Amino acid sequence: MKLNVLVKEVMKTDIRYVSLDDTIEKAAQVMKKFKVGSVVVMAGENVRGIVTDNDIVYKCVAEKKPPTTKASEIMTKNPVTIPPEKTIEEAARLMSEKNIKKLLVFDRNCMVGIITETDIMRIEPALFEVLLERMKIRSSRAREAGTASAQCEHCGNYADVSEVDGEWLCSECAME
């Protein structure tokens, strides 16, 4: 199946940032305030990395690092990027190949947006099959750790879920 929806038609342009010296606590607060799953780590005008909600959980909380840990210590350096003229099918394949959920969108060395697997699934549910295969692989690894990417049994959203009292719940529903 070939789709003609372009990344630039789906991407979000209101990207949230933190600086290299900002703490994980600040990164988490920005994510919560704007209801996003990642922040881009900047040094002035230059992108240095990305911190995702998973980075905070696995690289900070699970390793008992303090909330004062710098974003630069746990960020993913040199994040994977895609040009805005690529199709969302190409974006989904790249996410699947790299086992990631987000791509920074760059046009001539300038960050212009971000696209996530959720953005793609919202626009083109047919690409769900591409991402579902990736989720199956990730789920088998995550189940060993007690978490998985699947549909929350309470709200129905696809997210990283964990087993709580016999139900698979996203982090928001698990807190209720």
Domain ranges of the chain: 7-145, 146-176
Q: Sorting pLDDT into bands at 50, 70 and 90, what band is 168?
A: confident
Contact by Cβ (8 Å): 139, 163: no
Q: pTM above the 0.75 mark?
A: no
The average pLDDT across 115-122 equals 89
Q: Which residue has the higher pLDDT, 159 or 76?
A: 76
* Cα distance between residue 40 and residue 150, in whole Å: 25
Contact by Cβ (8 Å): 71, 22: yes
Q: What is the pLDDT of residue 19?
A: 97
Please tell me what DSSP assigns to residue 81: E
What is the CATH number assigned to the segment(s) 146-176? 3.30.60
What is the CATH number assigned to the segment(s) 7-145? 3.10.580.10
Q: What is the pLDDT of residue 164?
A: 80
